[in-house]
Amino acid sequence: MNTGEQPGNEDNMKPIMKIATVMALLTAGTLQAEKLPIYNETLNYSVTWKGVTVGSVNMKTSTNEKKQIRSYAKVNSWNKIQGIYYVQGSFGTIWNYETQKPVYAFEEVYQGDTWQKRAFRFSGANFTIDKHEKKFSETSYPHKGPIKSDKKSKKTKATNNHLDLLGAFYYVRSLGRTPSVGETLQVPVLPAGNHQTLVLKVLGKKKISTPVGEREVLHVRSALASKGKEGLFFQTDTEIEMYITADRDSIPIHMWTDVPVLGRVDIKLSTYTQP
């Protein structure tokens, strides 16, 4: 699989990308072109660290007459955490559920007085990335020396039908079969504009109590991999584990991962609604 260019300075977005990536759960089967209930939903999550609530993730999705999904997700974090770690930001996507193609997407992350912003405009096999950033390094706040502002636009190929992360979230949830325990699955994605592969392995299945009632869930381990490293994802620093409902809705119930300095962070569903 060709995953294109290697990541560069955009690695700085990895922790916030983790939170977005955990939303991209993969099931395999035949795509469903009809309008599904999950295309109009609201998901709210709490973010905890060492048993303390340090933030939240809120996502709302709706459809329009153009057969498009419009989704917006916001990551909110405790003020003290924002000063040392970039866990504040927002993401959005417009995705055509009939053609299963992305139309537009954006990503914004913040740390202290700096930010990185990306906008993706898709056209056929191409996409244009508009970047505006005041670059920063992980856990570097307060920043030493002047922070340079950079603004640029780049047109590139969306090889292998790469998707933005929120678009991938709904793409994979529009598939018709729940994966089996032991399966390893892949989907091409564009975190921070890099061509990478989201690799997922189904580790097990069990019943648990959830905010949407008792449900059977899949235990999935996931990671982002660059070209040539798709088989090494258990050795990367971007692994995420999660429980997702083993049904057509594929709702992410609980996600957890280790991040630098902070250690383990848990993201748990608090409320879920469909109209």
pLDDT tens figures, 84-125:
555 678 989 998 888 878 889 998 887 767 778 889 888 877
Tell whether the model's pLDDT for residue 42 goes beyond 80.
yes
The per-residue pLDDT for range 232-256, each reduced to its tens digit, is 433 444 688 999 999 888 899 999 9
Residue 199 has pLDDT above 60, yes or no: yes
Determine the pLDDT at residue 169.
76
Residue 151's Cα: distance from chain center in Å? 24
Burial of 242 (0-12, 13-18, 19+ CB in 10 A): buried
The residue among 204 and 13 whose pLDDT is bigger is 204
Stretch 13-19: mean pLDDT: 49
The whole-number pLDDT of residue 259 equals 74
Alpha-carbon distances of 256 from 12, 85, 273, rounded to whole Å:
20, 17, 22
**pTM of the full predicted structure?**
0.78
* pLDDT at 30 (0 to 100): 36
How far apart (Å, rounded) are the C-alpha atoms in residues 52 and 49? 5
Structure tokens at 13: 């977005």
pLDDT at 124: 77
pLDDT the model gives residue 63:
92
For residues 260-264, give the mean pLDDT.
Answer: 76
pLDDT at position 10 is 45
- pLDDT single digits (tens) 124-156: 778 888 888 776 655 555 656 666 777 777 777
**Tens digit of each residue's pLDDT (9 = 90 or more) over 201-225:** 899 999 999 999 999 999 999 887 7
Mean pLDDT of all residues in the chain? 76
pLDDT single digits (tens) 67-88: 998 999 998 887 766 655 556 7
Sign of CA dihedral 16, 145, 193, 66: positive
Q: What is the pLDDT of residue 2?
A: 36
CA of 15: how far to CAs of 110, 220, 246, 265, in Å?
Answer: 11, 19, 27, 11
Provide the residue type at 231 as one letter: G
